Structure 1
């Protein structure tokens, strides 16, 4: 079927709830200071029902600590643009190879039986080193969480979508990469950089694979975002590398990711998109 060469005047009017009736799973959405929470709020504000995945033991082990999941969920629920939409949360240790498929099934069931949008935002922090200090355990840990679990999530998501009527609209996958391909790379976080680089590299392959199911696949590099992990001189030094002298905030990449989930972005697929505010590497 040929695509219309020009949108009608009605087509050009922006729907204030472009994700009304759609459903989304956002992984790694356990902290109000994090990107996952910001993405979930944007999706909810655009009308989507959202499932928030969290793994609190990971946050507990980090310097920034954990957040109250009830308050994270309440914050997303408060942003709902469609009163008929819902927000649900649930745990999952994505280092377990059985969990990704379980999570897709749980999220789809909790949101009414269909899952439209998958935002794989989670990542392993810490347990990393440079070329001299890295070991097999560190490499395996980051592979399991940062890459393997994402591919298994996508696999389970596609199998779920394949059971829906052919070319059901709204299919979206967004993964997250980092700044490993810019400037001097990330020599102090070799395992993390390696696995995030793998996601960036596989984006176009996944986009080609999923095109027959009417699913777009894109990867976002959010650049340095202030999620509470940097302080003091490090914080100031990074801020100075932005033209405006300040870090990105979680809602900066969230706006891009939410837009990629809408029908307006239906012609964007297979792309690794930087959302860095002019950051100088």
Structure 2
């Protein structure tokens, strides 16, 4: 059996961790510099590696939970009883494992292959736990770069082109939740802080220093409140696509700060070179 080592999505849950939150916890702990972080990171890395599905991808809570027979039961009115691998979760696990020095392992290599196969024909990735293709693409590109995929590779260039094509005239990015049901809304919607940040994180990871990046940064700067936070009227968290969505209040703060921080760091690197 797989030794425990994950973190859960919610408070007071000590028995059902998920790979998505565990990957983000690893990324946070490795940046903390705390000397006692090595042991929990090691346990988490082992647990994450053991949660890969047979096809190479990662679901959020289970491995290989893909049998659709249970969705045909009379009392099951949506497909959320299964947990197939998704691009956003797989990407977060890949990024965490790669940054912990495991980019060349079989687990990460298979997950990278899974991600590349999961890319949509238009260059984006579907977002299972965040709205929607902006989230999926904003997760996949940094993960692939962390795993050693070169910024010039076709998959990355197609993703960059998709993001730039779907940037709003005001400089930000947004994607309406209707995109889960109506393809006409994919990549379209009013600009939001979290979705603008997701797009920026992908573009910056791909090495972009373009007008699109500058426009997104300007949008975030111009829309920051005097108290340092951002307003976000639209929900950008996904519970079950087509059924319910979530307003994560920290999304509007955490992701813009991350994107702006990486923009500043990238700008400093350019000056120093």
TM-score for the superposition, normalised by structure 2: 0.31
Which of the pair has the greater relative contact order for Cα pairs under 8 Å at 6+ separation? 1
Q: Which has the higher helix share?
A: 2
Q: Which has the higher strand share?
A: 1
TM-score for the superposition, normalised by structure 1: 0.30
